[in-house]
């Protein structure tokens, strides 16, 4: 069983089920991927495989150490690399192909991506605070309010929700249903939304829960 696959987000649309129900879906360009390196317990201390997404990439966009690393495995044009742990019995080795045909409709997958960066945001936008009144002389509209007591503990507790950087973080969406698999164009259709912008890199793996 293959551990997962790398890809890019194409965009969102919707499909109709046989009963006429409209289902929102996300199209993912999944693969083709090549095994760049096989990690073994004897050498690396754990059993895993490093996959690289094969795509058109200018040679200048890949530095010399990475170029040598890819050349050793006979892989070209792989800029996006990620590791997947392997289960006992998996026989992947450097140079093997990993394709989207490992998934079937009705499978459940976890999709990992980087969410869109929203910049510096206040508590109303970032944490969905309600905010204060808008009339009757109110001067409390989108402020965060109290962030801690004065006399004790006389400090701001860790994890306090405040304004700050919003988005641009690793997000995992679990248990998305596979609606369709296009093996000719390497397209995976999953139900629901996937983090990140169109064209953003994603990691697709089998659902863990």
Domain-by-domain residue ranges, the chain?
A: 4-118+170-206, 119-145+157-166
Residue with tokens 């109290």: 146
Does residue 90 register a pLDDT over 80? Answer: no
Q: What is the pLDDT of residues 133-150, one digit of tens each?
A: 999 999 999 999 999 998
- CA-based nearest residue to 50, from 7, 77, 84, 76: 84
> In degrees rounded to 5, what are phi and psi of residue 65?
-60, -40
Which pLDDT value is given to residue 2? 67
* CA 178 to centroid of chain Cα atoms: 16
Which pLDDT value is given to residue 72? 82
- State the distance between the two ends of the chain, measured CA to CA, in whole angstroms: 17
Mean local confidence (pLDDT), 21-50 = 89
Does residue 77 register a pLDDT over 80? Answer: no
Which of 79-88, 111-120, 180-189 shows the lowest per-residue confidence on average (mean pLDDT)?
Answer: 79-88
Return the biggest CA–CA distance within the chain: 72
Does residue 165 register a pLDDT over 60? Answer: yes
pTM of the model: 0.82
Q: What is the pLDDT of residues 100-111, one digit of tens each?
A: 888 999 999 999
For domain 4-118+170-206, give the CATH number: 2.40.30.10
Does residue 153 register a pLDDT over 70? Answer: yes
Token pair of 207 as six digits: 């659902």
Does residue 1 register a pLDDT over 60? Answer: no
Contact indicator for 172, 110 with CB cutoff of 8 Å: yes
User: What is the Cα–Cα distance from 160 to 175, expressed in whole angstroms?
Assistant: 30
Does residue 31 register a pLDDT over 80? Answer: no
Contact indicator for 3, 205 with CB cutoff of 8 Å: yes
Three-class DSSP category at 11: strand
Percent of the chain with pLDDT over 90: 52
């Amino acid at each position: 069983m293959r551990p997962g696959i790398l890809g890019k987000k194409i965009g969102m649309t919707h499909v109709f089920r046989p009963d006429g129900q409209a289902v929102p879906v996300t199209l993912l360009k999944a693969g083709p991927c090549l095994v760049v390196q096989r990690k073994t317990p004897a050498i690396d201390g754990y059993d895993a495989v490093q996959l690289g997404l094969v795509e058109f990439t200018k040679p200048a966009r890949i530095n010399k150490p990475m170029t040598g690393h890819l050349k050793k495995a006979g892989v070209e044009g792989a800029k996006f690399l990620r590791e997947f742990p392997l289960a006992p019995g998996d026989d992947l080795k450097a140079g093997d192909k990993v394709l989207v045909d490992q998934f079937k409709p009705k499978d459940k997958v976890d999709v990992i991506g980087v969410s869109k960066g929203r910049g510096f945001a206040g508590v109303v936008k970032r944490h969905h605070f309600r905010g204060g009144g808008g009339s009757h002389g109110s001067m409390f509209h989108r402020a965060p309010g109290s962030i801690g007591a004065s006399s004790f503990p006389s400090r701001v507790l860790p994890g306090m929700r405040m304004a700050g950087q919003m988005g641009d973080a690793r997000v995992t969406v679990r248990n998305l249903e596979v609606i369709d698999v296009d093996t000719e164009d390497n397209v995976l259709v999953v139900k629901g939304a996937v983090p990140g912008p169109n064209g953003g890199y994603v990691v697709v793996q089998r659902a863990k829960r």
